[in-house]
Structure 1
Amino acid sequence: MNKIIFIFLILIGIQNIKGQSDLESIAQTLTDYIEGSTNGQPDRLKTAFHKDLNLYYVKKNDSLGIWSGESYIQDTKEGQPTGEDGKIISIDYENDIAIAKVEISHPKSRSTYIDYFMLLKIQKKWTIVHKAYTQRTSNKVYE
């Protein structure tokens, strides 16, 4: 059902300069992040991330952790896939701002992470400007 709604939203999306809808462009940016990260393609991450992006998380001692996007990209080794799987869970956008949720699964460790993104449409291109992530502890979905 969600795939049908997602496809419908893509079909009715507002067209941008490249002929893609905004929703398709946001999804492509998120796909560049997912595939860049999981397939060992740092250049795709550079395409998806704003140069000033930081990643935020809660440390084990319950304090704020900040990881620079630049360091994240440097830690991604060219041609070295992580074995992870990623999928887009949701996208919500208005005009030139979007929020998105992505799930990243680690089959070997059996852990799943949830990434929340803020994207902005800057100079007609959707780019990730903020990422916060956490480990999934339940399968609850709230809509």
Structure 2
Amino acid sequence: MLLKLNDGWKIIAKFINVKNYQTINDLQTKAKQGIAEVKETLQHYIEATAQGQPGRLIQAFHSDLNLYYVKNKQLTVIPGKRYIKNFQVGKQYARIGNVLAIDYENDAAVGKIQILMPKRNRIAIDYLFLLKINGRWKIIHKSFTTKVY
């Protein structure tokens, strides 16, 4: 419930729909399980790109995935299949990944990932959109930006 005060809207009460759960613990358990499932897919992506495991990338990515970023102030699109070909089986890549955030509801999720690339003095921030398709989380969209340090 929101209340408008002089300095803006304030949350004064939160409601949780628990009609499908026997206890609040059931709700918390389901939420933790969902986050763990999403994180597992994100870890496939992080580890596959660091350790040269294109098979794991195929497992994490939906076949129609594209990657989007801005280059020279213009939208640039890389097909996911082409991106996967950049990673040679068994080759170690200097990429250190970390999951910064996960948000999900039912069969849709978003993950924010930080990838440190020390050999390139670069940090990438990835925004990954996922859907749970046939019981498995798949990354369907990747938008990213990079910065030099």
TM-score (normalizing by structure 2): 0.78
- Report matched runs for 1:56-135 at 5 Å: 56-59=68-71, 61-135=72-146
1:14 counterpart (27, 30, 43): 30
Task: Work out whether 1:40 is the aligned partner of 2:52.
Answer: yes
**Where does structure 2 lack aligned partners over 5 or more consecutive residues?**
1-27
Instruction: Find the aligned partners of 1:137 and 1:72 in 2 and give their Cα distance.
Output: 21
Q: CA RMSD in A?
A: 1.8
Secondary structure of 2:93's partner? Answer: coil
* Sequence identity (%): 42
1:25 counterpart (33, 37, 48): 37
Query: What is the CA deviation profile of residues 6-32 of structure 1, one whole-angstrom value per residue up to 9, with x for unaligned ones?
Result: xxxxxx3417xxxx8111110000000
Higher strand share: 2
Q: CA deviation at 1:108?
A: 1.4
Larger of the two Rg values belongs to structure:
2
Secondary structure of 2:84's partner? Answer: helix
Instruction: Find the aligned partners of 1:55 and 1:129 in 2 and give their Cα distance.
Output: 9
TM-score (normalizing by structure 1): 0.81
